[in-house]
Amino acid sequence: MMSHKMGELFCGPGGLALAATRATIGNPKYVIEHAWATDYDKDTCATYRRNLCADDASSVLCEDIRNLDYGKLKKISEIDALVFGFPCNDFSVVGEQKGIDGVFGPLYSYGVKALEYFEPDWFLAENVGGLRNANDGNAFETILNEMDGAGYAVTPHLYKFDEYGVPQARQRIIIVGIKKGLGKVFRAPSPAPYKDVDVSVRTALETPPIASDAFNNEKTAQSKTVIERLSHIKPGENAFTADLPEHLKLKVNGAKISQIYKRLDPDKPSYTVTGSGGGGTHVYHWEENRALTNRERARLQTFPDDYEFVGSKESVRKQIGMAVPYLGAKVIFEAILRTLADMEYESVDSNIQWRKRP
């Protein structure tokens, strides 16, 4: 049996875990099973437990990784695979971009320490596209070289998830590493098999319709001002590109973020769903004068409708925004399994170049 037991750091609400445990390559010897997971957010951990390991709740530790004893995780289970979507706050183009000099930037190092401690056969790490440019590109080079130095053949790739069947223009760097001693090299899966998939927002949200009693489907009570503002914004426009009456214009100095009160274009993929930000950042319906519900946002992240998020409406919005799209990640996990099983699959060269240290 070649089942791979997976441990996960910074597990979030479980987009990567759902993808991993549902990945299949037609060979029952190559599957991925949940072993343990950890995150510091209580609602996030509750969501993960409810959907992925309801019968083994103690396998999810809700602790700050900076204080976490890896020995606790090892007592739960040895692992063959490690997954970690290390926090992106300091690498995101929306933030201050402090890179590894910020509060969250250094957290990648706990993933590297875990590789050295657990010595899994392979790993998958995820972060935002802005990681490439943090600290003038030095942060990304440092991270890749440390992963390489831990003993892994590393393949970074910038994935445009709308090219892989996800109804959202979301770009993320996924780094896959396979232990050098195994003699296998991962190649990024090609998006070609997904070129005819309908990734329009309309199809994502309406086919099939969302049940009225679906989980996390409460509507936001919009103010009269917001409703009036949205009535002047056409699909694809935002608060700064629309022709708004003077009393509805936003008084903003400096950068005007394009996603503020931006309506979706129903015939295109959604713009990136985020979990942070105040009014105007909640993703807006193309026709109705309202923000999307959390269930609609979850659809854009390709979570199934029976995936139940735990917590307040704002907590759930944050969880959905931080997640990795389930269906996009599933493509990558299946490519990993095929690599390990020496099975052919359609692939592309990595679109990220980096300098290995001698």
pLDDT the model gives residue 357? 80
Q: Is pTM beyond 0.85 here?
A: yes
pLDDT the model gives residue 87? 65
Q: Could you identify the residue written with the tokens 């390990």?
A: 340
Alpha-carbon distance 32 to 335, whole Å?
12
Question: Which residue, among 297, 278, 293, has the nearest Cα to 239 in the 3D structure?
Answer: 278
Digits of tens for pLDDT over the chain (358 positions)? 468 999 999 999 999 999 999 999 999 999 999 999 999 999 999 999 999 999 999 999 999 998 999 999 999 999 999 999 876 444 344 444 444 444 444 678 889 999 999 999 999 999 877 776 666 667 788 889 999 999 999 999 999 999 999 999 999 999 999 999 999 999 999 999 999 999 999 999 999 999 989 999 999 899 999 999 999 999 999 999 999 999 999 987 766 678 899 999 999 999 999 988 777 899 999 999 999 999 999 999 999 999 999 999 999 999 999 999 999 999 999 999 999 999 999 999 999 988 888 7
pLDDT the model gives residue 106? 67
Domain ranges of the chain: 4-194+324-348
pLDDT the model gives residue 85? 86
Sheet with strand 171-179: strands edge to edge: 60-62, 32-39, 4-9, 81-84, 122-128, 171-179, 152-160
Contact between residue 330 and residue 193 where contact means Cβ atoms under 8 Å apart: no
Catalytic residue ranges: 88
Alpha-carbon distance 232 to 244, whole Å?
6
CATH class, domain 4-194+324-348, is alpha beta
